[in-house]
Structure 1
């Protein structure tokens, strides 16, 4: 279901209800309750071992809470099936670098889900791929094997893969690690535009919190154990007429061309 333009941005995208997580009898997360609304930008900060990555993995269904419940778009994670609505860039991607796939094929794989894994790639899909490659500045790598790339180049590929499907919820676990400062700045410009003018919700862990806090503020809205949640909500009175990701990417392309 498409988010309603008149919903007042009150739809719950992620609901954490008294969530616990134990790892080898050690409490990593306990009594965590939090509600993320449509068009929230959530910055997640915590020390090493605070449970940031663990929480993101629970939200995308890779780990199960030891106690409590997590809901996505109102549905329990255990029964949620619309994974194409979510883009996820993990801190360390589990993709096998020896897999014989090109950069273009990896990016295009972001268009596939369990419900459409046998779909044919059309011209519109190819255009989305080219836009994602351009914005991440990896268009010259499109025909190279993923295993031939450096760690930073691979991370750009997985960013493009997460963005290509125009997600309603974008989850980013330190997405710019290993990426040069210019590309980082361009990436933050793009997600700010997407957050301000499109119906996309963000959850982001970043090592460069100075850049993130310059947008979401320096005071957490909630603390739970060693985790701190910073939230910026937006509902701009004039939203972009174009709502797809290609438009957001075009905005960034124009900014890049002006700067160059």
Structure 2
């Protein structure tokens, strides 16, 4: 696919330029190029072992490609420093159950970068954390250790962490695994609203193809190896009057009466 033809005047949020990744002499990703544009919603689909999670980890700097380059907002990942612009929800099995942090500490960590992580929280930051806890219905778990929670509860904590800093790019690796069907539907409605009415770009891996394709379509824009990229771009005629995500997250709380 000609990504330049699709880009026009839109900012490239993620640029993947001819990347390769090998693990234990096995090539996982082979010569992948792709651009994610401002306000794209990219659904990343592939079989187990196709490299979906590997690609997401390279985008957020947790892994380095064997060859090629990834840029975030035009900056090479290796020198990128504005990580508060990005929210990331890893797979739930990425959590060490012995990690000795409380729910509040995990959510609050989404507000920090390397420069600010040892600074005292401001009143505005505490308010953001409280809003995220409330919206995800985990305020009563705030002082519990993350490893003591169920899988669904842990996912809500990581969703709150990813949303707390009003990111420009949200990267979600199967974010609804372990969450009941009703809440999955509410979550998809929330992120659809966020995509249509906020200046947010999404990259998401999801096992729920029916839910995902109902929004982004059934035909991929690009296939490479075992990976398929489904893309929906939005230019909503009206953006919300609110510029933060608090009211969107509150929609989730209001939609779902009970989370399991």
Asked if TM exceeds 0.5, the reply is yes
Structure 1 gap segments, 5+ residues each: 1-7
Moved more, 10-19 or 107-116: 107-116
**CA offsets, 1:32-77, max 9 Å, x none?**
1101000000000001110000000110011111111110000111
Q: CA RMSD in A?
A: 1.7
1:217 aligns with 2:217: yes
Asked if the contact 1:9/1:39 (under 8 Å) is kept, the reply is no
Match of 1:144 in 2: 144
Match of 2:166 in 1: 166
Asked if the contact 2:137/2:253 (under 8 Å) is kept, the reply is no
**CA offsets, 1:101-139, max 9 Å, x none?**
221221111111112112322332222222212222222
Match of 2:129 in 1: 129
- Tell me the distance in 2 between the aligned counterparts of 1:150 and 1:114: 30
Deviation at 1:82, TM superposition (A): 0.7
Deviation at 1:146, TM superposition (A): 1.4
Task: Report how many aligned residue pairs link the two structures.
Answer: 250
- Tell me the distance in 1 between the aligned counterparts of 2:129 and 2:78: 31
- Tell me the distance in 2 between the aligned counterparts of 1:33 and 1:12: 13
Match of 1:184 in 2: 184
SS in structure 2 at match of 1:156: helix
Moved more, 167-176 or 133-142: 133-142
Q: TM-score, normalised by structure 2?
A: 0.91
SS in structure 2 at match of 1:117: coil
- Tell me the distance in 1 between the aligned counterparts of 2:94 and 2:33: 28
Structure 2 gap segments, 5+ residues each: 1-7
Deviation at 1:256, TM superposition (A): 4.7
SS in structure 2 at match of 1:111: coil
